[in-house]
A = this chain, B = another copy of it.
Amino acid sequence: MSINKESYAYGASKSSIREIAAWGAARKAEIGADKVFDFSLGNPNVPAPMAVRSSIERALDLSPVELHGYTPAAGLPVARKAVADSLNRRFHTSYSPADLYLTCGAAAALSITFNAIVERGAGQEVCVVAPYFPEYKVFIENAGARCVEVMADADTFQIDVAAMAQAINERTVAVLVNSPNNPVGSVYSRQNLEELAAVLREKSREFGHPVYLISDEPYREIAYAGVEVPWVPSIYDATIVCYSYSKSLSLPGERIGWVLVPNTNPDHDDLVFAVAGAGRKLGFVCAPALFQRVLVDCVDEPTDIAAYERNRKALTDGLSELGYEYVEPQGAFYLWVKALEPDENAFFERARSLELLPVPSDSFGCHGWVRVGYCVSFDTIVGSMPAWRKLKESYGA
């Protein structure tokens, strides 16, 4: 037998988030969908905007050969132009279609980016801010680098810049940030990012090569109460942005997103080639053609924040009243709730016995918390409250 051990392990272990979701689906089939409160997945319950359907219907009037044919590897020029124009309008930049490489979603964008920069076998490192989306580590390690976890500030869940400065060394090729953040729901402030940028500039000088900042932004459009989500390339030049329409347009299954190498990145031309080459060698021929066309029409469609805002309020009001501690979410659609005992897995099991399915924090690289995804129906949130109460009471509160 010749099997790649790492691939086998990744396939056999699965993602614990998907395991919980699968358990939830089976449990719903068993006792009824309204009796199980599954907060595990980041699968938006908000429907894609009507404009997506109209755009698909319009695209179907093209000749099938034109519509479904191969696109250039980086994507249809018209789709990349739509994205570039939108970014330029919003962030006062001057990006061109050539700066963009359309991908099969953010996972592909990240995998491609790491494979574009990491030199395998060179002992390189990528720093991530913990708690963090667990697949980051999978993609980083697969590209041949070590994933270095740097805990966020324990109070604010902003980047702990001092800790990051300590973690960065001559082997560090990149720092990965994700704001609005999964799993915590924090949004990094301009000041926080500027402090990080100052450190990255200093370290880049010190080590004689740029430490890239990779900004993973699938939740950019989901920010509450007017909080600013700063445009990272305007703060630090050597930035690469990874984006997905999974959350903003509620299209997670369709796999459409992009890598942006901003024209202000000092290694722009080399990175553009390296991104294209990484996409090629991993087997990404092009992003799905029909959804590239959807971008042309829908790139500026507003995200239905109101639905998430309503869920957020119901969930935080409810848990707050019951005496749970949590991090006030500024963005994304996750609530980071303190487990009622130090062992988040024991807490999760007790929650599960009451049909509540959050995700224990060890999946995200830390202990003592659970992630509650509120990209679910409003009814799920309201309906779950008696179970959250029982859970609290079971701890004698």
Point out residues on A near B: beta carbons under 8 Å: 1-12, 14-15, 18, 22, 41, 43-48, 52-53, 56-57, 60, 63-65, 67-73, 104-105, 107-112, 115-120, 124, 135, 138-139, 141-143, 173-174, 209-210, 212, 250-255, 267, 270-278, 280-292
Instruction: Determine how close the nearest CB of chain B comes to the CB of A150; give it in whole angstroms.
Output: 19
Q: What CA separation (Å) do A270 and B11 show in the bound complex?
A: 9
Among A22, A109, A250, A283: residue with most chain B CB under 10 A? A283
Q: What CA separation (Å) do A139 and B283 show in the bound complex?
A: 7
Q: Is the CB of B284 within 8 A of A11?
A: no
In the complex formed, the residue of B with least CB distance to A108 is B283
Q: What CA separation (Å) do A73 and B105 show in the bound complex?
A: 14
Q: What CA separation (Å) do A52 and B62 show in the bound complex?
A: 13
Interfacial chain B residues near A71, Cβ < 8 Å: 253
Q: Other than the known A14-B276, A43-B65, what 11 A-B pairs have Cβ atoms closer than 8 Å?
A: A2-B118, A2-B173, A3-B267, A4-B118, A10-B280, A10-B281, A11-B272, A18-B73, A46-B65, A104-B285, A282-B283
Q: What CA separation (Å) do A252 and B73 show in the bound complex?
A: 12
Q: Is the CB of A250 within 8 A of B68?
A: yes
Interfacial chain B residues near A46, Cβ < 8 Å: 65
Instruction: Determine how close the nearest CB of chain B comes to the CB of A296; give it in whole angstroms.
Output: 14
Instruction: Determine how close the nearest CB of chain B comes to the CB of A237; give it in whole angstroms.
Output: 13
Q: How many copies does the complex hold?
A: 2
Given A11-B273, A253-B288, A283-B282, decide whether A4 and B45 contact each other with a Cβ distance below 8 A.
Answer: no
Interfacial chain B residues near A275, Cβ < 8 Å: 7, 11
Q: What CA separation (Å) do A108 and B44 show in the bound complex?
A: 26
Interfacial chain B residues near A116, Cβ < 8 Å: 3-4, 7-8
Q: What CA separation (Å) do A302 and B159 show in the bound complex?
A: 56
Q: What CA separation (Å) do A282 and B11 show in the bound complex?
A: 12
The listed residue (B41, B56, B173, B253) touching A289 by CB distance below 8 A is: B253
Q: Is the CB of B53 within 8 A of A60?
A: yes
Q: What CA separation (Å) do A267 and B11 show in the bound complex?
A: 15
Q: What CA separation (Å) do A363 and B286 show in the bound complex?
A: 21
Given A2-B117, A117-B3, A291-B288, decide whether A283 and B110 contact each other with a Cβ distance below 8 A.
Answer: yes
Interfacial chain B residues near A278, Cβ < 8 Å: 4, 7, 10-11
Q: What CA separation (Å) do A285 and B5 show in the bound complex?
A: 20
Q: Is the CB of A286 within 8 A of B255?
A: yes
Q: Is the CB of A138 within 8 A of B280?
A: yes
Instruction: Determine how close the nearest CB of chain B comes to the CB of A104; give it in whole angstroms.
Output: 6
Q: Is the CB of B284 within 8 A of A107?
A: yes
Among A4, A65, A105: residue with most chain B CB under 10 A? A4
Q: What CA separation (Å) do A108 and B285 show in the bound complex?
A: 8
Interfacial chain B residues near A63, Cβ < 8 Å: 47
Q: Is the CB of A48 within 8 A of B68?
A: yes
Interfacial chain B residues near A69, Cβ < 8 Å: 43-44, 252-253
Q: Is the CB of B111 within 8 A of A7?
A: no
In the complex formed, the residue of B with least CB distance to A59 is B56
Instruction: Determine how close the nearest CB of chain B comes to the CB of A93; give it in whole angstroms.
Output: 22
